[in-house]
Structure formats: structure tokens, C-alpha cells
Structure 1
Amino acid sequence: MTAHLAKRLAIALATLVLASVVVFAVLEIVPGDPARLMLGMNAGADQVEQLRMQMGLNDPLLLRYLHWAGNMLRLDFGRSYTYSVPVIDLVRERVIVSLPLAAIALILSTVIAIPIGVYSASRHGRMGDTLAMGAAQVGVAVPNFWFALLLVYVFAVWLRWVPAGGFPGWSAGVWPALKALILPAVALALPQAAILARVTRSALVEVLSEDFVRTARAKGLPYRAVLWRHALRNALLPVVTIMGLQFAFLLAGTVIIENVFYLPGLGRLVFQAITQRDLIVVESVVMLLVAAVIIVNLLVDLSYSIVDPRLRRR
């Protein structure tokens, strides 16, 4: 188990270093002068040179990378040129929106997907299976922003149960803040639930054909107990993998949904930084999101030993 843990940590660290090189290189391959790009074509030469010195663009490439990576390790992401505040302050303000949104969406996705996947697998090849997987296929095919617009029309415009957009802040109270996150979370959760339901069904169908399932049934265990206590647990490895990938996607890939619902999250921050040509914010936040994805994937790998105790001996 120790060797497995050390191996996974080494792979995660190497991936993080490689990702940092790629993210840093993106700024270098941008056509033209990054400082000129941020300031606009009408900026004076003195302004451009001042910004180049501020960003360290006159230093050698390797030195700039080492300085940037070292600052990232100290959680010093630099200073936003547009907002004139440290990037870490912007991240703190936005992550308290994106993180709860991703968590709620993942919970909703799991609560919806697991029962549907189990129901479909238990009726493999029958009408219930066909209908459930047909609905899941529709969920996979339909983009989440279309779900978002439909939810806004039904629940915000027509029924007026929840706000159509915006975020009042947690200082306004837990319920008003959660209420503003309900529709975005549902819009994010439905397509992800469709994917998770299909994975759950496929994994469970395969496990139900194993010998230990037939043995458990031959011993007289009820089918429901065999399905939920024995078969489902053995089918959880691919399900947990997809859940980890989904959480990483929900945390890092909410740009469209946050813009549809006008939520001040990390996705919207990246979108605004791109439109405002604030490359310092773009580079820092993208690297932070990449690191979050790598860490989530590492935690998923480590959770395999909890789901399947046989892996602890490897």
C-alpha cells in the first residue's frame, strides 16, 4: 500500500510540474508582446515597458518560469492588472461560489444516477432498461446550457420559485445563497447524471454475471440485498472514477453555466479575464484549476483501496 501511495504521489507531482510548464508556455506562444496585448495597441511605449518590468518579461525564460512556479507554491498568484488587487483575493471571493456549486451538482448527479443505473441493470434487456438508458442518452446529448435556459424559463420566469440569476452572497443567509445555486446545480447535474447512470449500469451488468452473485443467490439471499450490498460495491470502481472526473469538471468547467446565471464564480472570472486581456489572472486561475483537477484525481486513485480492499495489498 505504501509503494502504491508513493507511486501515485510521484505521478501526481510529475503531472503537476508538466501542467505548469504547459500553462506557462501558453503565455509565451501568444502572438505579439503580452504586455502590449494586455494594454491594447494604443498604449504608449513607456506604459508597455513598465508592465513588462512588472511582469518580469525582460528576464530569461527559465528564470521567469522558476520565479512564477515558486510564487505559485507560496500561493502568490501575482496582481491583477484589471482589478489592481492580488489574484489570490479574487480567487477567494469566487471559490466560495464555485466550490459549493460543484459539490451540490455532484451530490444531485449521484443521487439521480445511482438509483437509475441500478434499476436499469436489474432489468437488463427489458423495457425499463431501454427507457432508462434512452432518457440517459438524451441527457448526454443535450448541452447543459440548454437545460439551464429551460430551467430558467420554467422555474424562474413562469413559476417564479427561484431567482433567474445572480448571487446574493453568503452574508445574505445560507438559504438565499443556496436558492440562487439550485438551478445552476441542476443544470450542471442532469447531463453528468446521465453519464454516471450509464457507467453504473454497464459496471453493474458486468458484475451481476460473476460467480459470486450466483453463489449469493443460491444461498437464498434476497435479490435486492445481493444487488445493493454485494454487486453494487464491486461495481463502484469505474463509478468512483467518473465521479472524481465529474467533480473536477464541475469545478473547472462551469464557465458557460456561471455566465448564463450571472454567478461570480471561478469560471466567470476566467471568462472576464480573457475578455479584459488580463493574462496574469488567466494564467494563475487556470493553473489553480489544473492543480485542483490533479489533486481530485489523486484522491480518487487513493479511494480505490477503500472501495476495493484487495488493492490495499498491492
Structure 2
Amino acid sequence: MTAYLLRRIVSGLVTLVVASIVVFSVLEVIPGDPARLMLGMNATDDAVQALRVQMGLDQGFLIRYFHWTGGLLTLDFGKSYTYSVPVGELIAERVTVSLPLALIALALSTAIAIPVGVFAAARRGKPADTISMAVAQVGVAIPNFWFALLLVYLFAVWLQLVPAGGFPGWQAGIGPALKALILPAIALALPQAAILARVSRSALIEVLGEDFIRMARAKGLSRNAALWRHALRNAMLPVLTILGLQFAFLLAGTVIIENVFYLPGVGRLVVQAINQRDLIVVESVVMLLVASVILINLLVDMAYAVVDPRLRTRA
């Protein structure tokens, strides 16, 4: 098991190195001069060059790359060109919105999807199964930004139960903060729940056809008891895979939802930084998201071994 985890950690570190090279290289070839953008098109060449020297943009590619990666290793992300504050402070401020939003959305998605998947698998081929999967298919097909607009119109504009957008901050209290996050979380959760429900149903149906389930039924165990006690745990491997991917998506892919609801999260920070050509912010946020995805995949691999003891033996 230890050797297996070490291999996964080494693989993750190699991925981080490759990702840092790709991210830094891609952003370097994007047209536009951050110094010119900050000073405006009417700025003199001398002023632009002086700002480039101050920002370190006059140095070579390799020097700036190693300086940037060295800062990442010490959690020094540099200073934002636009806001003139440390990038770490910007990210820490925005993560307090994006991370709770992703966690709430993942909790809602799981709480909806697993029961629906079990319900549909237990009634395979019946009208309840057909209706459940038809609704799930609709959930997969609907874009989350369009669904978010519907939620805003229904609950914020018409019923006026929750705010249409914005975030009051956690200092305003847990109640107002959660109230501002609930609609974005639902908009993110329901499409993901539809995917997870279909995967759960398929995995359960496959497991229900295994010999050990038939043996349990032959010993007198009811269908529901066999499903909940034996089949569900054995069907969790593909479900865990999807959960890991979904959390990574929810953490890194909230750009559209955060802009629809005007949430000051990491996704909106990236959009603003791209528009303002604030490369140091974009590079740092992207690398943190890559590291988060790698960490989540490692945790999912560890969860595999907990759910299926055979994997521990193989490792």
C-alpha cells in the first residue's frame, strides 16, 4: 500500500512540473503587454519599459520561470500587477467563497444522486426507472448557466426568497452567506447529480447480477437488504471516480456560475485577471487548481483501497 501511494505521489509531482511548464509557456505567448495595459495606450515607451523592469518582465523566459516556481514552492505567489497586493492574499480571500460553494454543491449532488440511482436500479425496467433516468437525462442536457438563470428568476425575482447575486461575506453571518450560496450551489449540483445518478444506477445493476448477490438472495436475504448491505459498497468504485472528478470540476469550473451570480470567487478572479492581463494571478490560480485536482485524485485512490480490500492486497 505504501509503495502504491509513493508511486501516485511521484506521478502527481511529475504532473505538477509538466503543468507548470505548459501553463507558464502558454501564457507567455498570449499577445499583449501587461505593462502597456496597466499604463494605457497613451503611455510613453520609457514609462512602459520602466514598469516592465519593475515587474521583472525584462528578464529571460527561464529566469522568470524558475523565479516563479521557486516562489510557488515557498507559497510566495508574487504580487499582482493590477491590485498591487500579494497574489496569495487575493486567492485566500476568493477561496472562502469558491470552496464552500463547491462543497455544498457536492453534498447536494451526492445526497440526490445516490438515492435516485439506488431507487432506479432496484426497479430496473419499470416505469419508475424509466422516468427517473429520463429526468436525469434532462439534467445532463441542460446547461448549468441557463438553469442558474431560471433559478434566479423563480426564487430571487418572482418569489424573492433569496438574493439574485452578490455575497455579503462570512462576517455578515453564516445565515446570510449560505443564503447567497444556495442558488449557485443548486445550479451546480443538479446537473452533476444527474450524471452521478446514472453512473450509480449502472454500477448497481452490474453488481446485482454478480454471483455473490444471487448467493445472498438464495440464503433468504431480501432484494433491498442485498442491495443496501452488499451491492452498494461494491458499486462504489465508479461512483467514487465520478465524485472525485465532479469535485475537481466544481472547484475549478465555477467560472460561469460565479459570474452569473456575481460571486467574488476564484473563477471570477481568473476571468478578471485574464481581462487585465495579470499573468502572475492567472498562473498561480491555475497551478493551485492543478494541485487540487491531483490531491483529490490521490484521495480518491486511497478511498478505493478502503472500499475494496482487494486493491490493498494488489498494491
Q: Do both proteins adopt the same fold according to a TM-score greater than 0.5, normalized to the shorter chain?
A: yes
Please state how far the C-alpha of 1:208 moved relative to its aligned partner: 0.8
Aligned match of 1:44: 44
Cα–Cα, structure 1 residues 223 and 32, in superposed 2: closer, same or farther, change >3 Å?
same
Q: Structure 1 residue 38: deviation in Å? A: 5.2
Q: What residue number does 1:177 align with?
A: 177
Please name the residue that 1:206 is paired with.
206
Deviations 1:45-78 (A, max 9, x none): 2232233223433333222211111101111111
Contact (CA 8 Å) 1:121, 1:205: kept in 2 or not? yes
Gaps of 5+ in 1: none
Could you tell me how far 1:283 is from its partner in structure 2?
1.6
Counterpart in 2 of 1:69? Answer: 69
Q: Check the 8 A contact 2:305/2:311 in 1, yes or no.
A: yes
Aligned-pair CA distance for 1:130: 1.1
Asked if 1 retains the 8 angstrom alpha-carbon contact of 2:38 and 2:82, the reply is no
Q: In structure 2, what is the equivalent of residue 289 of structure 1?
A: 289
Specify the SS of the correspondent of 2:162. coil
1:265–1:32 distance in 2 versus 1, CA, 3 Å: closer
Superposition map of 1:237-252 within 5 A: 237-252=237-252
Distance 1:198 1:38, change over 3 A: farther
State the alpha-carbon separation in 2 of the partners of residues 208 and 36 from structure 1. 64
- Post-superposition Cα deviations, 1:184-231, rounded to whole Å, max 9, x if no partner, equal 000000000001011111111111110011011111112111111210
* C-alpha distance in 2 between matches for 1:38 and 1:249: 32
Deviations 1:93-131 (A, max 9, x none): 110000000000000000000011111111112211111
The CA distance in 1 between the partners of 2:48 and 2:236, in whole Å, is 55
TM-score, scaled relative to structure 2: 0.96
Question: Closer, same or farther in 2 for the Cα pair 1:120/1:153, shift >3 Å?
Answer: same
Q: 2:38 & 2:207 partners in 1: Cα distance?
A: 55
- Please give the TM-score of this superposition, normalised by the length of structure 1: 0.96
What corresponds to 1:220 in structure 2?
Answer: 220
2:265 match: 265
Q: CA RMSD in A?
A: 1.4
Distance 1:38 1:14 in 2: 35
Contact 2:155 2:161 in 1 (8 A): yes
The DSSP-based 3-state class of the residue aligned with 1:78 is coil
Q: How many residues align?
A: 314
Cα distance in 2 for residues equivalent to 1:50 and 1:195: 53
| Equivalent-residue separation in structure 2 for 1:268 and 1:106 (angstroms) | 20
Q: Pick closer, same or farther for the CA change 1:116–1:32 going to 2, 3 Å.
A: same
Shift of residue 8 of structure 1?
0.6
2:155 is matched with 155
| 1:111-159 alpha-carbon deviations (Å, 9 max, x no partner) | 0000111111111122111111111111011000111111111111111
Aligned to 1:306: 306
Q: Is the 8 A contact 1:270 1:282 kept in 2?
A: yes
Opposite residue 287 of structure 1, the aligned amino acid is M
- Once the two structures are TM-superposed, the CA of residue 40 in structure 1 deviates from its matched residue by 4.5
Is this contact kept in 2: 1:27–1:34, CA < 8 A? Answer: no
Instruction: State the shift of 1:9 in Å.
Output: 0.6
In 1, the alpha carbon distance for the partners of 2:82 and 2:17 equals: 28
CA distance in 2, matches of 1:51, 1:127: 68
The letter for the 2-side match of 1:142 is: I
Unaligned segments of structure 2, at least 5 residues: none
Q: Take 1:94 and 1:136, find their aligned partners in 2: how far apart are those partners?
A: 32
Judging changes above 3 Å, is the alpha-carbon distance between structure 1 residues 228 and 218 closer, same or farther for their aligned structure 2 residues? same
User: Does the CA-based 8 Å contact 2:20-2:287 persist in structure 1?
Assistant: yes
Q: For residue 192 of structure 1, what is the aligned residue in structure 2?
A: 192
Question: Quick one: distance in 2 between partners of 1:87 and 1:286?
Answer: 12
Per the alignment, residue 131 of structure 2 pairs with: 131
Q: Tell me the SS of whatever aligns to 1:271.
A: helix
| Aligned-residue offset at 1:248 | 0.8
Letter in structure 1 aligned against 2:75: L
Is the contact made by 1:38 and 1:278 (CA closer than 8 Å) also made in structure 2?
Answer: no
Percent of pairs with identical residues: 74
- 2:16 is aligned to 16
